[in-house]
A = this chain, B = another copy of it.
């Protein structure tokens, strides 16, 4: 398979270009996705290539973007709806939760919803308010949705392509801080990676970190730092946040007996809680220490001056690892 060096945002674009070319039912709609190529350039050149009927610049209305996608999907299209930042998912929440997530169920399979809702997500780029949010737990808690967040260019391409081909709606969260953070060889042309499979980023036997998106990096850094002390830390990138790869998590924690979950979203009722709940439910007797959570705090994502104190960093993960190892 031939590859090309791509950043994550290029990989995202490439996945859409390939799927638009492959399946005439695929359409892209959202704010500034046309001539502007998206505010992050994730749709750069797509309108020029596929025309204004396949790549639609919409008026500024998120509920309408998603609600229109519902109608498009009901009538046989496969829309990719871009929400400009995850902070602006809320105006579309009714369409997402009341219709996207339910239409298949409500119509007993007659009107499936093969919709991808792509949205730049999470923090780290020092933007104004509402541009740094991590809302995965809201969507995980909403039955009928799948939720994905890639942490590498390759995963972004393969998972987005799978999401587009999936017959169920997928909320696809793209970490803005990673859009241009690295370049790597990404397969060209058609390429998919299975949804629902975690990725073991680093193997270890003494503790497991489960994380995703922006916090994979500080987790790895923390693992390396702690390993200087002679222990081995396993790092799992969840990738698909729901339905997630519980098997991989349980297999790892079954071996290590210790789990630290790291995520940017606020802690309370976040996805870390679900991980903790499932692990204690199914592996209580294997747990050598409580499941630790290293997360954003339970406050609105702060403005740029304090943002770095909010996002879990290496130091906080190290502390949690030490705590669990010394329990």
Q: Which residues of A contact B (CB under 8 A)?
A: 87, 90-91, 93-94, 97-98, 101-102, 105-106, 129-130, 137-138, 140-144, 242, 265-266, 268-274, 276-277, 280-282, 284, 287, 289-293, 297-300
A142 and B140 alpha carbons, distance in the complex (Å)? 14
Copies of this polypeptide in the complex: 2
Minimum Cβ distance to chain B for residue A144 (Å): 7
| Residue in chain B with minimal CB distance to A62 | B94
A297 and B143 alpha carbons, distance in the complex (Å)? 9
15 contacts between A and B (CB under 8 A): A91-B93, A91-B94, A93-B94, A143-B297, A143-B300, A242-B268, A269-B269, A269-B271, A272-B277, A273-B273, A273-B276, A276-B276, A277-B291, A281-B290, A281-B292
A101 contacts across to B, CB distance below 8 A? 300
A291 engages B280 (CB within 8 Å):
yes
Minimum Cβ distance to chain B for residue A75 (Å): 22
A300 engages B144 (CB within 8 Å):
yes
A187 and B90 alpha carbons, distance in the complex (Å)? 40
B143 engages A299 (CB within 8 Å):
yes
